[in-house]
């Protein structure tokens, strides 16, 4: 078992069930893990602020002040995890072959342990100016109410979100829009085709059009880091019983977006698709709406934060740190929208949201070392 304080903290974090209760009904949420982190950060000498974002679901923010005013840096990580269906021992942090296994080990208790332990190193040396803000937030896996609450009260000149990037400096990630289409038919006895209008069969036309749209999206020139946009059908439902024409069918699909695609553009795309189907058949009746959108995020690679972090990582790991993009949406977009330039940087591993999840132990140490070096360079020592 590793005696490194970052790994000891990681073990403690994995042992606590912090499944997001908005994802899994009855799950405990972030209360217990937040309490542990608040106590840990206080012992490191940080000033700790605990803000309940929803009942039993607090953000924890630790602050290390420099000796004089100056540039501020934020580390941000989420405390919640997805569910544990199919996992053998999700809250038992087993170390083997240089890996630590358990739910959230990679996504993202490894990054949370690294950022908190980096604050321990920075506190030991002392910051010359500015401040280091270490924010552990709730609910990233569902609606990011934690990050929204964080940026309402806290600002910084730059931020590192310590999601798992395999020690790459990720300056971008895709966005998404959740879309809903309802086709309308007319209920009638199954023996009376002249009276009935089949809403499910009509949804077939929508699905065919979406398949063509997806092909088109994926054949467009890719964004250099994010790749191409895409979509997939997520959930579909309709029909009431065998002997009736279905009056209604509802499809929910997810559209993943790349830089420059606005929610309005996605709405137009969907309206246009339905208009074409209506042009082909005046009886085609459908309505659509977008239920959730989160934008893609990108920070220019020549931004001082990206450059400084890449230099620091190269120094710590002894090899150049490539710039990259993550496919999944993260809280970096919330920080970015709030005017805090952010990059993603965290340890590597595998099994994100899968039944066997692990983080590379050496990566957690390197991540901690790089974050500590960044804080000391950003704020001076
Ligand atoms: Zn995550």
Distance 109 CA to ligand 1 centre (A): 9
Mention every residue, 6+ apart, whose C-beta is less than 8 A from residue 262: 295
Question: Mean pLDDT score of the chain, rounded to an integer?
Answer: 96
CA distances to 31, 73, 259 from 154, in Å:
21, 11, 26
Distance 328 CA to ligand 1 centre (A): 9
HSE-CB for 88 with a 13 A CA cutoff: 5
Same domain, 90 and 55: yes
Distance 381 CA to ligand 1 centre (A): 31
Tens of pLDDT, residues 248-274: 999 999 999 998 899 999 999 999 999
Range list of β-strands (E), the chain: 47-54, 57-65, 68-78, 94-96, 99-101, 129-137, 159-161, 169-173, 175-184, 230-238, 248-257, 286-294, 297-298, 323-326, 342-344, 349-350, 358-360
Distance 192 CA to ligand 1 centre (A): 52
Concatenate the DSSP letters of all residues of 92-124 into one string. --EEETTEEESTTIIIIIHHHHHHHHHHHHHHH
* CATH number, domain with residue 145: 3.40.630.10
Q: What number is the average pLDDT over the span 307-317?
A: 95
**Contact assessment for residue 200 and residue 190, using Cβ atoms and an 8 Å cutoff:** no
Give the torsion through C-alpha atoms of 47, 53, 58, 62, to 10 deg.
Answer: -20
Question: pLDDT at position 114, please?
Answer: 98
Same domain, 138 and 41: yes
- The sheet carrying 248-257 orders its strands as 230-238, 248-257, 175-184, 286-294
Tens of pLDDT, residues 318-343: 988 999 999 999 999 999 999 999 99
Pairing label, strands 286-294, 129-137: unpaired
Q: How many Cβ atoms from other residues are within 10 Å of residue 316's Cβ?
A: 20
Same domain, 134 and 114: yes
Same domain, 307 and 283: no
Question: pLDDT at position 314, please?
Answer: 95
HSE-CB for 32 with a 13 A CA cutoff: 12
Same domain, 47 and 168: yes
Question: pLDDT at position 363, please?
Answer: 97
Helix (H, G, I), strand (E, B) or coil at 336: helix
Distance 254 CA to ligand 1 centre (A): 19
Question: pLDDT at position 206, please?
Answer: 98
Distance 275 CA to ligand 1 centre (A): 38
Same domain, 152 and 217: no
Q: What number is the average pLDDT over the span 32-60?
A: 98
Look at residue 44 and tell me whether its pLDDT is greater than 90: yes
Distance 244 CA to ligand 1 centre (A): 45
Verdict on whether the full-model pTM lies above 0.85: yes
Question: pLDDT at position 317, please?
Answer: 87
Q: How many angstroms from the chain centroid is the CA of residue 301?
A: 21
Same domain, 223 and 357: no
Same domain, 266 and 227: yes
Distance 3 CA to ligand 1 centre (A): 25
Phi, psi at 213, each rounded to 5° = -65, -40
Distance 78 CA to ligand 1 centre (A): 7
Cα angle value 340/341/343 (rounded, 5°) = 125
Query: Angle at which helices 5-15 and 31-43 pack, to 10 degrees?
Result: 160
Look at residue 280 and tell me whether its pLDDT is greater than 90: yes
Distance 68 CA to ligand 1 centre (A): 34
Structural domain harbouring 244: 181-294
Distance 14 CA to ligand 1 centre (A): 14
Give how many domains the chain has, as a whole number: 2
* CATH number, domain with residue 237: 3.30.70.360
End position of a domain, from candidates 279, 294, 309: 294
End position of a domain, from candidates 294, 328, 359: 294
Taking a 5 Å cut-off on Cβ, the residues next to ion ligand 1 are 107-108, 163
Distance in angstroms (rounded) separating the CA atoms of residues 161 and 179? 28
Question: pLDDT at position 220, please?
Answer: 96
Locate 54 and state its tokens: 């929803």
Distance in angstroms (rounded) separating the CA atoms of residues 284 and 352? 41
Map tokens 């605990």 to a residue. Answer: 50
Question: pLDDT at position 353, please?
Answer: 83
HSE-CB for 367 with a 13 A CA cutoff: 37
Same domain, 29 and 92: yes
Map tokens 């970096």 to a residue. Answer: 332
Distance in angstroms (rounded) separating the CA atoms of residues 184 and 283? 10
Kindly state the percentage of the chain with pLDDT values over 90: 94
End position of a domain, from candidates 241, 259, 294: 294
Map tokens 């209604």 to a residue. Answer: 248
Give the torsion through C-alpha atoms of 105, 107, 109, 113, to 10 deg.
Answer: 110
What's the distance, Cα to Cα, between the start and end of the chain in Å?
Answer: 32
Question: pLDDT at position 272, please?
Answer: 97
Locate 52 and state its tokens: 């309940």
Same domain, 18 and 155: yes
Residue 352 confidence class, pLDDT cut points 50, 70, 90 = confident
Question: pLDDT at position 315, please?
Answer: 94
Distance 107 CA to ligand 1 centre (A): 5
Tens of pLDDT, residues 217-247: 999 999 999 999 999 999 999 999 999 999 9
Same domain, 217 and 338: no
Residue 126 confidence class, pLDDT cut points 50, 70, 90 = very high
Q: What number is the average pLDDT over the span 85-99?
A: 95
Distance 108 CA to ligand 1 centre (A): 5
Same domain, 44 and 168: yes
Distance in angstroms (rounded) separating the CA atoms of residues 298 and 205? 35
Look at residue 381 and tell me whether its pLDDT is greater than 90: no
Distance 143 CA to ligand 1 centre (A): 12
Question: pLDDT at position 1, please?
Answer: 79
Cα angle value 42/47/51 (rounded, 5°) = 95
């Amino acid at each position: 078992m590793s005696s490194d304080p970052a790994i000891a903290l990681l073990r403690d974090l994995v042992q606590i069930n912090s499944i997001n209760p908005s994802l899994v009904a009855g799950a405990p949420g972030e209360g217990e893990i937040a309490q542990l982190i608040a106590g840990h950060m206080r012992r490191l000498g940080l000033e700790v602020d605990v803000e309940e974002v929803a009942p039993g679901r607090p953000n924890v923010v630790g602050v290390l002040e420099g000796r004089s005013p100056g540039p501020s840096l934020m580390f941000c990580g989420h405390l919640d995890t997805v569910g544990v269906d199919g996992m053998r021992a999700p809250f038992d942090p087993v170390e083997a072959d240089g890996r630590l296994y358990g739910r959230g080990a990679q996504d993202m208790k490894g990054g949370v342990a690294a950022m908190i332990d980096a604050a321990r190193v920075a506190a030991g040396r002392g910051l010359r100016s500015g401040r280091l803000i270490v924010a552990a937030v709730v609910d990233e896996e569902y609606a990011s109410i934690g990050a929204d609450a964080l940026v309402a009260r806290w600002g910084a000149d730059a931020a590192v979100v310590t999601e798992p990037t395999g020690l790459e400096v990720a300056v971008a990630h895709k966005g998404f829009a959740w879309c809903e289409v309802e086709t309308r038919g007319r209920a009638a006895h199954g023996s009376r085709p002249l009276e009935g209008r089949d809403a499910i069969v009509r949804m077939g036309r929508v699905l065919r059009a979406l398949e063509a749209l997806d092909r088109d999206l994926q054949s467009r020139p890719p964004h250099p880091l994010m790749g191409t946009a895409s979509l997939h059908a997520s959930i579909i439902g309709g029909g009431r019983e065998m002997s009736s024409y279905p009056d209604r069918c509802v499809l929910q699909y997810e559209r993943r977006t790349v830089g420059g695609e606005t929610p309005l553009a996605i709405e137009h795309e969907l309206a246009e698709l339905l208009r074409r189907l209506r042009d082909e058949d005046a009886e085609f009746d459908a309505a659509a709406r977008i239920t959730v959108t989160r934008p893609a995020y990108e920070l220019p690679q020549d931004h001082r934060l990206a450059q400084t972090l890449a230099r620091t990582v190269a120094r710590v790991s002894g090899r150049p740190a490539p710039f990259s993009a993550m496919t999944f949406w993260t809280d970096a977009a919330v920080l970015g929208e709030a005017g805090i330039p952010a990059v993603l940087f965290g340890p590597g591993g595998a099994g994100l949201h899968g039944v066997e999840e692990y983080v590379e132990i050496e990566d957690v140490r390197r991540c901690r070392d790089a974050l500590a070096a960044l804080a000391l360079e950003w704020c001076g020592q």
